[in-house]
């Protein structure tokens, strides 16, 4: 009788564990989290819910009882690596999500990236806040060549890249924003380059690309740069860039390989305009912000946040620079991006610098995720 009783007690627990998973997200900080994309390791979900059908499940907000959008992140592999969800979470609060069988509602893409061969090998990417592009091999040695990241400002949350390229009028605002950001021979909106003998050692443009994931909540891709001479040091780079829905900033992971056992000095840079703007430098926290002078098209804020120790931040006539070091074949991660005042969310330097500082604090206080 004791054996039968134990079986009757255990079986229902096994059945429940196989029909759903519960995700608890804790925000123990004093920071509100808005439109935050949370990464949940897929292995923890499949362990809690081994019978999950990847093509037939929903994620339910425990408070509202409504479905929320999600993404299966692969990171360029066939196997699922993470489940991504976007949530709002008040300071010192907890959110419960239920993962269970069901037909997911259609999700509107909030991020997008693609190679643009029809425009001289551009690689462009965007989310529901802002857009960017990097320049490819076909643009090298032409009049329009540039070294850094370009910004495409936008005032709507829809994806706009394809429409702008199709119109071929991305310097004109058709109600969704435009491209008025000038890059030239600088690091533009937060590119990184070796800094050898007090000189920026620019590479050529990217020559290879690879898409790792493409929405609806995160788009990630790799750009590879051929070996170049960085002040007597042969350097090769692979840059992995991710943009999340709801964020003004990209996550950028660079991997440099070079023929030197010593750490390689590098700088993250932002182009500086001739007219006066507002600059905010925080070497201790690695936060660098710039509110550009206002143009007829509006005002752009650009900023970068380094996660490695910054030795110096400096300002010259053409660029704002943050200097750090990288080791051979060891990834270095930083964040960089932009905002536009005519989008209506961030409209002055104070708000932009607050956004950057708040983003830094979020990095220092990650959310806690528990799966059962």
Q: What is the pLDDT of residues 262-288, one digit of tens each?
A: 999 999 999 999 999 999 999 999 999
Q: CB under 8 Å to 119, separation ≥6 — which residues?
A: 165
pTM: 0.94
Beta bridge partners of 250: 243, 336
Q: Measured between alpha carbons, how far is 10 from 192 in angstroms, rounded to an integer?
A: 56
333 and 266 Cβ atoms separated by less than 8 Å: no
The CATH architecture that domain 21-106 belongs to is Sandwich (2.60)
Domains 21-106 and 111-364 share a fold: no
Percent of the chain with pLDDT over 70: 95
* Pairwise CA distance, residues 149 & 129, whole Å: 16
Separation CA 357–CA 149 (nearest Å): 22
Is 32's pLDDT higher than 90? yes
The pLDDT tens digits for 228-266 are 999 999 999 999 999 999 999 999 999 999 988 899 999
Domains of the chain, by residue range, sit at 21-106, 111-364
pLDDT at 17: 47
CA distances (Å), origin 30, targets 2, 71, 244, 351, 353: 51, 28, 22, 18, 18
From residue 47, give the alpha-carbon distance in Å to each of 21, 22, 40, 323. Answer: 9, 12, 12, 43
Token code pair at residue 43 = 């292995």
Please tell me what DSSP assigns to residue 263.
P
pLDDT tens digit sequence for 61-102: 999 999 999 999 999 999 999 999 999 999 999 999 999 999
> 11 or 64: whose pLDDT is higher?
64
**Average pLDDT of span 103-110:** 96
Q: What is the pLDDT of residue 260?
A: 84
CA distance 189 to 303: 8
* High-pLDDT (> 90) share of the chain, %: 94
Q: Are 181 and 189 in contact (CB under 8 A)?
A: yes
| CATH code that applies to domain 111-364 | 2.70.98
């Amino acid at each position: 009788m004791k054996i039968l009783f134990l079986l009757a007690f255990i079986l229902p627990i096994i059945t429940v564990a196989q029909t759903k998973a519960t995700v608890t997200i804790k925000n123990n900080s004093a920071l509100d989290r808005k439109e935050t994309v949370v990464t949940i390791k897929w292995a923890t979900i499949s362990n809690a819910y081994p019978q999950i059908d990847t093509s037939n499940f929903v994620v339910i907000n425990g408070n509202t009882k409504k479905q929320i959008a999600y993404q299966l992140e692969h990171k360029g592999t066939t196997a699922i690596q993470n489940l991504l969800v976007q949530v709002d979470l008040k300071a010192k609060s907890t959110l419960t999500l239920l993962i269970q069988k069901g037909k997911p509602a259609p999700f509107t893409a909030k991020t997008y990236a693609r190679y643009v061969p029809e425009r001289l090998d551009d690689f462009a990417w965007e989310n529901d806040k802002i857009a960017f592009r990097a320049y490819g091999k076909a643009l090298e040695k032409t009049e329009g060549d540039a070294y850094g990241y370009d910004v495409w400002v936008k005032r709507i949350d829809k994806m706009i890249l394809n429409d702008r390229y199709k119109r071929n009028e991305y310097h004109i605002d058709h109600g969704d924003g435009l491209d008025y950001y000038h890059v030239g021979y600088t690091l533009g909106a937060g590119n990184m380059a070796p800094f050898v003998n007090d000189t920026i050692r620019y590479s050529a443009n990217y020559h290879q690309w690879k898409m790792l994931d493409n929405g609806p909540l995160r788009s990630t891709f790799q750009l590879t740069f051929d070996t170049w001479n960085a002040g007597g040091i042969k350097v090769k780079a692979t840059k992995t860039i991710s943009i999340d829905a709801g964020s003004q900033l990209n996550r950028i992971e660079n991997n440099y390989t070079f023929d030197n056992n010593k750490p390689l000095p590098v700088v993250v840079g932002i182009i500086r305009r001739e007219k006066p703007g507002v600059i905010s430098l925080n070497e201790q926290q690695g936060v660098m912000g710039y509110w550009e002078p206002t143009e007829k098209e509006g005002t752009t804020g650009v900023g970068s946040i380094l996660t490695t120790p910054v030795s110096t931040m400096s300002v010259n006539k053409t660029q704002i620079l943050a200097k750090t070091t990288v080791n051979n074949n060891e990834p270095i991660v930083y964040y960089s991006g932009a905002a536009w005042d005519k989008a209506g969310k961030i409209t002055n330097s104070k708000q932009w610098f607050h956004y950057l500082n708040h983003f830094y604090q979020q990095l220092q206080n990650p959310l806690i995720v528990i799966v059962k």
